[in-house]
Amino acid sequence: MQKYYIWFIMAAALLVRLLAAFVFNDMSHPTDIQTFGAWANMLTTNGFAAFYGTDAFTDYPPGYMYILGALGTLREVFDLPWGSADHHALLKTPAMLFDIATVALIYKIAMKFNENRNFAAIVALIYALNPAIILNSAVWGQVESIHTFLLVLSIYFIGQRKMLPSVLLFAISIVVKPQSFIFSPIYLFMFFKYIFGEGTPQFDAKRLGCLALYGLGCFALIGLLFIPFIDFTALPDAFLEIPIFAQYVNTFTTYPFITHNAYNLYAMLGLNTAPLTAPFEVLGFAFLAALTLFAFFLLWKKNDVGSLFLVGALLVIGTFLLSFRMHERYNFPAMVMLLLAYVVMRDRRLLYVYLGYSAVHFLNNIDVLLMSVNDFNRVQIEHSAVIFAIPLVLLSIYAIYMAVTIFTRRPKISLPVLPVKYKDVIICGAITLFYAIFAFTNLGDVQSPQSNFTGQAREEIVVDFGATYNVSRIQFMAGGRHHQPFVLEFSQDGEIWADTTHLITGEVFTWSYHDTVGIIFAQYVRITPLTSSLVIREMGFREGSLFLIPTTVISATGHELFDEQHLVPYQPTDYMHSAYFDEIYHPRTAYEFIHGMDVFEWSHPPLGKIIIALGIQFFGATPFGWRFAGAFFGVLMLPLIYAFALRLFAKSKGASFWAAFATFIFAFDFMHYAQTRLATIDTYVVIFIMAMYYFMYRYTQTNFLREPLWKTMMPLLFSGIFMGLAIASKWQGAYGAIGIAVIFFWTLLQRRKEAKNAECLSDFWRKAGITCAACFGFFIAIPLAIYIASYIPFWNTGYMHINRMAYDPAYIHHEMGFLAAWWQNQVNMFDYHSGLDAFHFFSSTWWQWIINARPMWYFYNELGPYTVQTISSFGNPLVWWGGIPALAYCIYAWAARKDKTAAFLVIAYLSQILPWIFVPRLAFIYHYFPNVPFIALMLAHTLKGAQIFCHNRIGQFFNRKAAAIAFAIACFALFILFYPVITGIPINRDFVTTYLQWLPSWTLLV
């Protein structure tokens, strides 16, 4: 049976690719797949000789054209509709078949060097099901697998010192893809070794003659492959002007950029698609020369088959990292080279680098592919190119270091043995830093209009454009007051005013625009506020081409309207420079706290808005400023959950691993990402709930029967402080307090049992009484003091906004007093929330949150007929749906095995979901956010403790850590897949509806 393994693997690999080709047909690269189809049609219709002589775009050499010519004939024979899924699958078939051929070659090489069918089958399967490989051929529709197969076979032969088949295959690979020249240093060195021998250099004239004959054979083969593409009836005077040879020259200058969507060192520095200048070209050539010398150095040390594969991988990695004119697919061959180096050399580090490099290659290519199917909107990859380049650069540096240690046979450089706490700092810091890059990328503009124009009713502001323009669009950003009316009038001479336009400002800190009706030619515009509450931060006028019209204020007032014209955005409705969703409330209130204005939003306690105000104080009233604190606290959640998990799993082997797992899947949960980047108060209540449970867990691990009483009460003090901070941010924090109380008294019961068994009940009652008395201060007095103190900024504004949803000047602190006004606000808040029984399209119930059934839509913007921006908050399906069996397992572990960790997590989880069963008010999925960290911890606890991995058959193939790693990778892959709809970058509408709306209830587009 084992001898048939490879056939099963090849069949499965082909089936997976065919399914991918049809299922993801819409993901085919629009330019590449259409170009290949057009070339196939041209070759069939016009013949080979006329192909390169046409005016059509033909930037591929002739090797692949033979295949396309055959495909064009097959399309006609089977009468496949142009552009259909069948036609696209036909165009992808050769690349998919070469994928399968490479799988077979990997198996053969593995069998030769290991003679173990199981090992050979596993490594063949690892390549066969590699998503990066499948993406290239079956989804994108590209052909890297063809020249890669030829190169692998060629290097295998040259490693066996079979020069003739090696150089012939290398010649064919060059005819298929000129990028094969990257491997030239290997052949140059091996030619030298062939001529001078393996030992002491000794010239062998006979071998030189053989090699010369082989070279002539290669040139003859290339000539034979070129001849059908030369039109001998219309030869130009110069050799290099013959179309097919001119094509090769042009191929090396196709992309006149430092890097063109290759996420390498230059992309990391923000130079993607930057023009290639002479200094960078010189630098690139210098890097190539150094890389060639480096390859010679390594091969001088060792040049067997495994070494050749490793050097081949390093040539690709180094060229992709440091050279110029790199494209996103040029590092494709590195993956199979790394895997084969592992197969031959059996250094496990090579396997790890193969897996890592496959991941970064996939990220680079899927990101570029999504941009391509999204109408080539380059804004989409402007920031992701920098982010995704970072792991590739780091991995490339490690690969080079690893190769040096392998070739020089030096022992691995071992770091000093550090205490465990430093190891955890490094692990946690790495995850936190990695996530922070995502958190702060595209968070919001760091610049936004800051000066305010505050209008007086019937005040007239006159603006002169300096010339007559066709005014087609009016843009304005509301200041600290919303929905205020004003009038615009236009004139060509400044005397006769017409085209009166009545407008109303939109939500605060949000750009609005109005497209004029009809044609308005004007040199002057007159702006008249209709209320003294009109506050506008900036205004702009655009003409027909949407050119921003220069403005000069000629009236005595109104200069603030046009003093920051460089900040008027071309796309006015982008979330990057406007508030969205509840940001029209909370940053506004934070701004009002800072400036002592009457406070608009009073329906939640003030602490969250105070924290938002700190970000505004540091970075200004800009989108980045009011979102900074939330994103920062979202980042801070990661070291907190890591520390929490370390405590939970401290008695288990591999506590750091499981802490890292829980931290990683929580970091890349969709809701954690989307919610913390939105300037609302939910982030703060969640982190404070996490902290209060963390310290309560620390208390459960103390024992006042064996430790000093004061020491056991310190965690209770901090738990109470964070409980006060949570409730002062949002009343939802009180739900967590219920669980805290249950855990506290449950812990006391455990201590009572211990005291009874130890016959020291009197000591227990004394210490329990003192602890309970202290808890009155820790969990009532201190939280109440924090809660009341949070209203001081509210009070300092001079207003207490207590008259439900409308400011009443009769209620100010001079008449009512601080505590009376504070109490009235609590009454009003309760009345508001208990009576919130309205309809909202995106509202949901507690049980829908558990199954991730109803995402909350936050932002939507149409950029064109097919391109949109959208932001929704919901859970990573793997995390949330995986949390359901994890919850069931923890309940089982608590009931059947008396698992105290499981019990703690279940209580924490239920305390924040069960109260919502009885809450009558309108609710949304983001109210489930406090449960998400506990879902991550339950998943870690379940994978760590599930007995399924102890089963003999399952345990042979899977272990807990491998399953956890696979789960974490899948979570991150889903995060990348859904990244556009949780962060608001432009994306193709059809892609969202086809691939991202997994459930009918998922409304990700409006």
What would the pLDDT profile of 433-460 be if each residue is shown by its tens digit? 888 888 888 888 888 888 889 888 888 9
Looking at beta carbons, which pairs linking 799-807 to residues 24 or more positions away fall under 8 Å?
A: 799/598, 799/599, 800/824, 800/825, 801/598, 801/599, 801/600, 801/601, 801/602, 801/825, 802/602, 802/828, 803/828, 804/828, 804/831, 804/832, 805/832, 807/598, 807/600
Residues 6+ apart with CB under 8 A from 728: 605, 606, 607, 783, 786, 787, 790
**Residues 377-387, mean pLDDT to the nearest whole number:** 76
- The alpha carbon of residue 602 and the mean position of all alpha carbons in its chain are separated, in whole angstroms, by 35
Given its phi and psi angles, is residue 724 left (phi above 0), alpha (psi -120 to 50 degrees) or beta? alpha
pLDDT of residue 2: 56
What would the pLDDT profile of 273-330 be if each residue is shown by its tens digit? 888 777 777 787 888 888 989 988 888 888 889 999 999 999 999 999 988 888 899 9
Closest by CA to 572, choosing from 668, 505, 474, 670, is: 474
Identify which has the larger pLDDT, 83 or 837: 83
Instruction: Quote the percentage of the chain above a pLDDT of 70.
Output: 91
pLDDT of residue 841: 80
* C-alpha span between 814 and 795 (Å, rounded): 10
**Residues 142-156, mean pLDDT to the nearest whole number:** 93
Q: What is the dihedral of CA 223, 228, 233, 235, to 10 degrees?
A: -40
- The alpha carbon of residue 368 and the mean position of all alpha carbons in its chain are separated, in whole angstroms, by 13
pLDDT of residue 816: 63
Instruction: Quote the percentage of the chain above a pLDDT of 90.
Output: 35
Top mean-pLDDT range of 277-291, 754-768, 903-917: 903-917
* C-alpha span between 880 and 935 (Å, rounded): 7
For 398-430, the DSSP string reads: HHHHHHHHHHTTPPP-PPPP--HHHHHHHHHHH
* C-alpha span between 658 and 669 (Å, rounded): 17
**Residues 729-735, mean pLDDT to the nearest whole number:** 92
- Say if CB 550 and CB 520 are below 8 A apart: no
3-state secondary structure of 112: helix
Give the dihedral sign, CA 666/671/674/679. negative
Flag the least confident range among 214-223, 310-319, 876-885: 214-223
pLDDT of residue 244: 61
Q: What is the rounded average pLDDT for all residues in the chain? A: 85
CB burial class (10 A; 0-12, 13-18, 19+) of residue 165? Answer: middle
- Say if CB 355 and CB 968 are below 8 A apart: no
Residue 200 has pLDDT above 80, yes or no: no
Scored b (16 or more CB within 10 A) or e, 972-989 reads bbbbbebbbbbbbbbbbb
Number of H helices, E strands in the chain: 38, 13
- Say if CB 91 and CB 40 are below 8 A apart: yes
- Sole residue written with tokens 């594969």: 309
Pairing state of beta strands 867-873 and 856-862? antiparallel
How far is the CA of 377 from the CAs of 369, 370, 823, 864, 988, in angstroms? 11, 9, 53, 11, 10
pLDDT of residue 245: 60
Identify which has the larger pLDDT, 782 or 64: 782
Residue 381 has pLDDT above 90, yes or no: no
Full strand arrangement of the beta sheet holding 987-988? 856-862, 867-873, 987-988
Structure letter (DSSP) for residue 239: G
* Structure tokens given for 672: 């954690």
- The alpha carbon of residue 192 and the mean position of all alpha carbons in its chain are separated, in whole angstroms, by 47
* C-alpha span between 464 and 889 (Å, rounded): 72
Residue 45 has pLDDT above 90, yes or no: no
- Say if CB 974 and CB 882 are below 8 A apart: no
Confidence of residue 950 (pLDDT cuts 50, 70, 90): low
Residue 411 has pLDDT above 50, yes or no: no
Closest by CA to 803, choosing from 818, 786, 815, 821, is: 821
- Say if CB 291 and CB 319 are below 8 A apart: yes
Residues forming beta bridges with residue 535, ordered by sequence position: 454
* Structure tokens given for 201: 């250099």
Confidence of residue 663 (pLDDT cuts 50, 70, 90): very high
**Residues 728-744, mean pLDDT to the nearest whole number:** 92
- Say if CB 117 and CB 1 are below 8 A apart: no
The answer to pTM > 0.95 is no
pLDDT of residue 705: 83
**Residues 180-191, mean pLDDT to the nearest whole number:** 88
pLDDT of residue 757: 83
End-to-end CA distance of the chain: 54
Residues 6+ apart with CB under 8 A from 242: 230, 235, 236
* C-alpha span between 752 and 763 (Å, rounded): 10
* C-alpha span between 384 and 437 (Å, rounded): 10
pLDDT of residue 201: 61
* C-alpha span between 596 and 599 (Å, rounded): 8
Residue 230 has pLDDT above 90, yes or no: no
How far is the CA of 396 from the CAs of 84, 322, 403, 942, in angstroms? 39, 10, 11, 35
At position 194, the amino acid (one-letter code) is Y
Flag the least confident range among 3-7, 41-45, 728-732: 3-7
